[in-house]
Chains A and B, each alone.
Chain A
Amino acid sequence: MLVWRRAELRLGMLARRRDAAALGLLLALAAAAFTAASLGASALTPHELVTALLDAADPRHVLLWQVRLPRVACGALVGAALGVAGVLVQTAVRNPLADPWLLGVSAGAGAAALLAIVAFPELPALVPAVAFAGGIAPVAVLLALSSGARARGPLRMVLTGVALQALCFAIVALILFFFADRAPAFAAFIVGSLASVGWEDVAIVAVPTALGFAAALVAARPLDVLLLDEASATSLGVAVRRARFGAAGLAALLAAGAVSVAGLVGFVGLVAPNALRLLAGPRHLLLLPLAALGGATLVMLADTVARAAAAPLELPVGALLAALGAPYFLYLIWKKIP
């Protein structure tokens, strides 16, 4: 009886912890957005920020609206897209160690995007579509290889992703080699950076992010069933193969949007879902929004640090996130791979 009471108490705490997590994340997101808008090459007090935003005569008004706000919005959207994409690839390959970056989705999208940029420089609108095709290719190969019960082990999956990623990076390196004159612009792309984004970039990332997120939420229940073993999911009436490819395709769409504006930002899709799964549990209806919030907060904060830490010099946000994400990845490897 006592054990039962204690379990009930713990459960109540857990439920409250979940609500608190959701609320906390929302607050963190707002705080991060505020901080991100305030800090940078020139730091503003909250009062100054509000005045500058509202008063068109303020000398910083244009800077804020044309430079800093689109950047903050892009950071939030890129982070949300990558957080949701992380959940989706982890579900598609049934492995918490998956991440759009680690599986080569980002690298594939990036390689394709660079190809599109050098091949059709007059058609920038083409980039996201080509990036999507490039992003879905590695994960399609991975899913084809891991059909049935083969390649189910997390180790093989991660190593396959590494191999596919290496292939994509070889393509990137080739492009860099042949278009060395444009190397500086490409370097920012490869490390991942939000340095020169504008409102048009917000539009580019917002559309795939909104579409992908909405589709994932609609499919939340079948995605849950996909977390079971293949035989059980089939027995419950889910077309496992099709659903996996669908989840991977949505992840590629989200990652392609993010890559198109921010370049190869890594590890967000690994860190945000894995950290939040501890609080939210594995079910998608809760995990997807939390991963979106968490990813958005993470990228906005990282980008703020990137702008403010060594001002006026700017650090690439991708490098900062990798510095944060790689140790977390190591921790997960040692914890999850037996």
Chain B
Amino acid sequence: MSAGLEASRVHLRHPRAGHDAVRDVSLALRPAEVVVLVGPNGAGKSTLLAALAGELAPRAGRVTLDGVDLARVPRSVRARRLARLPQEPACPEGLTVEQLVGFGRHPHRGAFAPLGPLDRRAIGDALTAFDLLELRQRAVETLSGGERRRAWLALVLAQEPEILLLDEPTAALDLRQRFELLALLARIHRERGLSLLVSLHDLEEAAVLAQRVAILHRGRLYEAAEPERALRPESLRDVFGVNARVEKEDGFLRVRVHGPATPLRSL
């Protein structure tokens, strides 16, 4: 029995393309741990997140939640403990921010129960945490990209899970919004003791947020370790195909990419 969410030697088929996207990956997310998943496009990050969220059944291996096979955890129980925000979430036109965030309470409410005081508080807290109080009556489709991302994050926060899986939450955000989002995630982790598994493209962002960095490479787990140990010049060369120097500067990890590790084909 191990606490937390754990993938043991999972093989996963890509839900659309049909090929094996993840092979023999074992990765555990312990309570209150922050793990960042990095890897080139097509490395299997989203597929692994889908399996850890229980949306995709592994072809081999197991995904367990506190030692129990995730497929055998009832849907409603799973949804109260585990939330996942996909890369490109979608909601219907005309839905307000508050209504969208209110969807996060779905797993907590009885079939006919109206929103109770606990629900209202969770929604209010989530709106406050992501600075959405003034936007709460706006239709989601009228928001900017950054605001929309915050609204969706507020939804999974209102779900009050113990474990939060986020698929590239900083994609499509501008530079300042990225910093704000990372700071918000760090604060939520600190205040609520959530386990976070976040896929990111930016390695320096990964190093800021992560307690451990898990590197996926062509569907396999290349390494999972503390940021400074995982993000080395060798791993960047092997996995991302770039020559890079990694330095520590003011307590932050700096990744300086000098160029491709092998010559580019002439264009």
Contacts and interface: CB of A to CB of B under 8 A. Distances in A.
Contacts of A45: none
B126 interface: no
A47 B80 CA distance: 61
Interface residues of A, number: 30
Contacts, number: 91
B117 to A, nearest CB: 18
A282 B111 contact: no
A44 B152 CA distance: 57
A7 B103 contact: no
Contact of B76 (A224, A231, A237): A237
A232 interface: yes
A7 B85 contact: no
Most buried by B among A8, A229, A277: A229
Contacts of B83: 235-236
A150 B78 CA distance: 26
Contacts of B92: 227-228, 282
A283 interface: yes
B93 A231 contact: no
Interface residues of B, number: 40
B99 A283 contact: yes
A196 to B, nearest CB: 40
Contacts of A322: none
B16 A236 contact: no
A258 B27 CA distance: 54
Contacts of B2: none
Given A235-B55, A235-B79, A236-B79, A228 B99 contact: no
A267 to B, nearest CB: 21
Nearest to A90: B92
B58 to A, nearest CB: 16
Question: What 3 pairs across the A-B complex have the smallest Cβ distances?
Answer: A237-B79, A231-B86, A282-B92
7 contacts: A11-B137, A227-B95, A228-B91, A232-B90, A235-B86, A237-B107, A283-B99
Interface of A: 4, 7-8, 11, 96, 148-150, 218, 221-222, 224-225, 227-232, 234-239, 277-278, 281-283
Interface of B: 15-16, 50, 53-55, 75-76, 78-80, 82-86, 88-96, 99, 103-104, 106-107, 109, 111-112, 134, 137-138, 152, 155-156, 159
